[in-house]
Each structure stands twice: as C-alpha cells, then as structure tokens.
Structure 1
Amino acid sequence: MPELPEVEVVRRGLARWVTGRTIESVRVLDARSLRRHVAGVEDFMGTVAGSRVRDVVRRGKFLWMILEESGHPEPLPRVALMAHLGMSGQLLIEEPEAPPEKHLRVRLQLSAATDEDGVNLPTELRFVDQRIFGGMFVAELEPTPDGQPGGLGDGLLPLIPHQAGHIARDPLDPAFSGEDFHVRLRARRTGFKRALLDQGLISGIGNIYADEALWAARMHYARPTDTMRRPDTERILDAVTSVMSRALAAGGTSFDSLYVNVNGSSGYFARELEAYGRAGQPCRRCAAAGRHTLLRRESFMGRSSFLCPWCQPRPRNARL
C-alpha cells in the first residue's frame, strides 16, 4: 500500500501535467474501478467529461482533483475527482496512441497543452490497477471544519471531499498542529506505533515509515502514548518529517513495479531504509558506534515491526 510520500509524488506529477487542463472525454474499460461512484458509470462520465482540473490536492493518502466547469471558474468548486490507489493503482500520463497497459481501467482524454519550453504535453491520463482494490469516483466538496485548506495543493481552498473529512492532517501539511497532536496522542492510552498508524490522529504514515521514524527517534513501538512528553513528541515528529522528506526526494519507496510515478518511474528510497525489511542485518547506527547489533523483526497487528533491540529497548510498561 503506498504511503504519504508515494501519494505525494503522484500528486506533484499530476499537478504539473494536469492542472488547468480540461478532461474532454472519458472511457471506462472496467466498471469495477468505479464501484465507489454509487451513481454509476454514466453519471461518472457525464460529470467528469467537460470539467477543468483546477487543482490537485492530497491529505494523508487521499488524493483528489478539484473540478470545475470548463470556462466558468467558481469561487468555491462543488466536486472533486478522487483517486484511490489501493494496493496497485497507478495514474499514468500517456499519449493516446501508446500501447494500453495490461490492467488499464479508465482513460481520460485531456485538452492540448504545452510545457514552459513549448513542448506538447501527453494528452491522456490513465488509471491502471492490477488488483482492482483502488478506484476513481466523484465526491462532493464541503467546507473544512477548521477553515484551513483541505490538504496540500496550490489552490489552498478550504474544501475537502466528504469521504476524506475524517482523515487527520499529516506532518507535511502546513496546517498540521504538533501541539494538537501531542494532546490527542496522550489521551489515546495505547502503544505508540498503533497511534502512528491511526489515520484519525495523524495521517499518511504506514508500516514502513512508522518503523523508519521510530528507529530514527530511538523509540520502541510499544511505548505507551500517555507517557509521551512534549520533547518526545517533537522528536518523533521531527523523525517522521525527515524520513518522509527524504523519501519524497528519492521518489518514494518501490519494492516492485506496482508503485510508479505518473511518468512510470519507480522510487528508490528502499535503498536508504534503516530498519524496515532489514531483520538479521546490522544496525548501521550501532555499527558506527562499534557495536554489533542485529535488527529484529517482531509481529505487530498481524504485520511486522522492525527495530534495533539496543537503540530501541522495550519499555517495562509496554503497551501494544
């Protein structure tokens, strides 16, 4: 499942290639990818075709394109085209004549456009999904409860799709409040990694980046949240922000061909992982200090947690 850095890489690609362009036509090749659009395929096509993409926005792992009637800018647009990537969803920018991908589900024809050098841009946005866990749908926009922008994007509109309204802000969101996170964190009374994975508390963090941030902050995943002091919270937020920023610079984390950017390229942050997936290998921080400590894999919530037993000692009052 792509996490915040991977979705943000896709958002930036879409913002560059799609913002300001009109979706001239829509072809649905597999209606299963529109199952979240309850009004049906014809309604989806009729709503999206002829719309102009005003902005591309992300909150946590949620991604949407704000739509407005082409040629009629609206102060507050009413709908957004949401893209749920699921386990294997991809949004690719292609030329219409390019060979169709094996698992191509939806084709959106875009209006002609050129880049800053006058080079013609590709005119088709494709939704490809091997496992069909993801999908596209149109959602109504509503005001954000705090009056701040709905998520990370250029338009900074105080609007959010109803389906994303329950998702907390993420650490890369300018409107994210570290103080609010600390207060709500201490009230959780659970293990710290479980809290990091709670998208209603802090969004965008999945298993990979939770393990990486905990390793960087020298914190065990079972640390009770109600024992967190402000310096502890600040330390983990700094670690999360640093890890995600580095992952963004590397184009995200790709372990196979299922996650790619809009131009089809894979991220390479997997080469820089310090903890996740490295069970049985030396902890690089310990090695730099002259210690030989092997990273460990432990079962957690039906998944795995990777940690260094020296750098991240298990607390006596551990809480899962």
Structure 2
Amino acid sequence: MPELPEVEVVRRGLARWVRGRTITGVDVMDPRSIRRHALGTEDFIGNLGHATVLDVVRRGKFLWMPLQAEGSREGTLPGVALMAHLGMSGQLLMQDPDVPDEKHLKVRLRLSSSDGMPEELRFVDQRIFGGLFVTSLVPTPDGQPGGQGETPLPEIAEEAAHIARDPLDPYFSFDDFYTKVKGRRTGLKRALLDQGLISGIGNIYADEALWRAKLHYARPTDTLRRADAFRIVEAAREVMGDALAAGGTSFDSLYVNVNGDSGYFARSLDAYGRAGEPCRRCAAVGLASIIKREQFMNRSSYRCPVCQPKPRNARW
C-alpha cells in the first residue's frame, strides 16, 4: 500500500495539473469505486459537476481536493472536497481524451482546458480497494492548515481529522509527539504505525527509520529518552524526504505517479526486504552483520542485530 512519500508524489503531480481547473464532466464506470459515497452515483456526479478544484491536500496518507461549487463567493472556505483513497492499487492518472481507456479505469473526471494540459483525470484501480468520494471539510482544532497543500486552508477532510500530523508537516509538533509516545506502554514500531500519534509512516519506512536511528522496533516507548525520540522522528523525516526525491518506492507496476511513472527508492532501502544481506553500515566499518527478518504484527520487520540489538525489556 502506498505510504506518505508515494501519496505526496501523487499530490504534487495533481496540484500541478488540476489546481484551479473546473470539472466539466464525470463518468463513473464502476460504482464500486465510489462505494464510500453513501448517497450514490447521481449525488457524486452532482457534487462534482462544474466545481473548481482549489488545491490538492495531504495529511499522512490521506489525499483530498477542496472544491469550490459553481456560483460560490470568492474567498469563502470550500466546505467540501473530493477524497481519494488509493488502497492497494489505485492510480490517479492525467491523460488526454484521445488516449485509450486503461483496462481498469473506474472513474473519469473531465477538466476545463488549460494551456495544453491533459484534460482528463482518471482513477484506475485493479484490485478495487481504493475509491473516490465527496466529503465534508471541518475546521482544524489548532486553526492551522489541515495538511500539505499549495494554498493552506484551516480545514481538514472529516475522515482525516482524527489522525496526527506527519513528520513532513511544517506544523508537526515534536513536543506533542514525545508527550503522547511516553504515555504509551507499547513498542516503538507499534507507536510509529499508530496514525493517532504520528501519521504517514507505514511498515517500509518504519523499518528504514529505525535502522537509521539504530533503534530496535520493540524498544518500550515509556522508557524512550527525548534524544532517542528526536532521533527516530528525524530519521523518519530524512528517509521519507529521500524517498520523495526518488519518486517513491515501487515494488511492482501498481504504484505510479500521475504521469504513469514508477518510483525507484526501493533500490536504496537499507533494511526493508534485505533479509540475508549484509548491513551496509556495519560492512562500512568492517563488521560482518546480516539483516534479519522477524515476524511482527502479522507482517515482517527487518533489522540489523548489531546496529539494532534487542532490548532486555522488549515490548511488542
């Protein structure tokens, strides 16, 4: 499933192509892809018709496009947004009308013409775990922008209002994170995956951040020193920044950006997926250490037994 860097790659691409453009038509090829829009297909199309996309915003792995309805006064807060959930295989692709429909095309948004830009935004989803729906925007509790966007607004999609800010958010508070994580009696990786504590970090980037910070995934959070907590947050910020620069992490053809291109950060992973291979950091100083794969929460964790030794008071 795409994690924060992959969703941010999509957000930046969409912002370039759709911001300020009007939706002139909507085609729903498969109603299953708008099943989260409880009022059905006609209401979905009615909400989008002739609405202008004001921005593309992301918090954690949530992505939404604030909409200005036709006839709304300029400068008023939008109040509604088109939410996009990519799921396991969802793709948002910008295409020209003369490009043949993709095999798994589910929804098509036709956009107003703009300086030779592609005129269709297509939602393609092979496995149908993702989808689109129109949602309400609610005020942010702190009055700050709801997430990463080009024109920050103090509103957030209702479905994303419960999650914490992510490490790349300029309004992320390390002090708030540290206070909350110290109050938990859990393991460090579980805390990193808890979207109520810190959002946007999934299994891949948790393993990579823990490797960079030289911390074991079962380190008890209530014993975490402030310096260690700062180190793991900075490591998460760095690894996701590196992934962004590489266009995200792609292990197959399902994750692509709005131009249909795959990211290549998988080539730079230091821990995740490298079981049985030498730890690069240990090898650099002449130590022989092999990355281990271990069972964790019905998934896998990867670590170096030398760089990231298991604590005696490990908490899973």
Please classify the TM superposition score into its range, dividing by the shorter chain length: over 0.9
Q: Secondary structure at the match of 1:66?
A: strand
Q: How many angstroms apart in 2 are the aligned matches of 1:168 and 1:246?
A: 22
Counterpart check, 1:146 vs 2:142: yes
Whole-angstrom CA distance in 2 between matches of 1:191 and 1:78: 38
Partner of 1:42: 42
For residues 38-187 of structure 1, the aligned pairs below 5 Å read 38-70=38-70, 72=72, 73-114=74-115, 120-187=116-183
Determine if the alignment matches structure 1 residue 282 to structure 2 residue 278.
yes
User: Does residue 273 of the first structure (1) align with residue 280 of the second (2)?
Assistant: no
Gaps of 5+ in 2: none
Unpaired segments of 5 or more residues in structure 1? 115-119
1:311 and 1:18 mapped to 2: Cα distance?
Answer: 45
Deviation at 1:229, TM superposition (A): 1.2
In the TM superposition, what whole-angstrom CA distance separates every residue of 1:1-46 from its partner, at most 9, and x where no partner exists? 0000000000000000000000100000000000000010000001
Q: What whole-Å deviation, never above 9, does each CA across 1:274-297 have from its counterpart, x for those lacking one?
A: 000000000000000101111000
Counterpart of 2:193, as a letter, is L
> In structure 2, which of residues 213, 224, 230 is the aligned counterpart of residue 234 of structure 1?
230
Distance across 2 between alignment mates of 1:171 and 1:142: 22
**Offset of 1:69 from its aligned partner?**
2.0
- Alignment-derived partner of residue 213 in structure 2: 217
Distance 1:243 1:162 in 2: 29
3-state SS of paired residue (1:55): coil
What CA distance in whole angstroms lies between the structure 2 residues aligned with 1:70 and 1:98?
29
Aligned partner of 1:297: which letter?
A: R
Per the alignment, residue 117 of structure 1 pairs with: none
Determine the structure 1 residue equivalent to 2:197. 201
Pairwise CA distance, 1:85: 0.2
| Structure 2 residue aligned with 1:5 | 5
Paired residue total: 315
SS in 2 for 1:240: helix
Provide the rounded CA distance (Å) in 1 between the counterparts of 2:261 and 2:287.
Answer: 38
Distance (whole Å) between structure 2 residues aligned to residue 92 and residue 70 of structure 1: 25
Aligned-partner SS, 2:230: helix
Query: Does the 8 A contact of 1:197 with 1:210 survive in 2?
Result: yes
SS of 2:102's partner is: coil
For 2:56, what is the secondary structure of its paired residue? strand
Cα offset for 1:71?
5.9
SS at match of 1:8: helix
Matched residue, 1:306: 302
After TM superposition, the score normalised by the length of structure 2 is 0.99
Q: Distance in 1 between matches of 2:205 and 2:290?
A: 20
What is the percent sequence identity of the aligned residues?
70
> Which residue of the partner structure matches residue 251 of structure 2?
255
Instruction: Map Cα deviations across residues 58-112 of structure 1 (whole Å, 9 max, x no partner).
Output: 0000000000024643421110000000000000000011011110000000000
Post-superposition offset of 1:155: 1.5
Question: Residue 171 of structure 1 aligns to a residue in which SS?
Answer: coil
CA distance in 1, matches of 2:109, 2:77: 24
**Distance in 1 separating the partners of 2:137 and 2:288:** 54
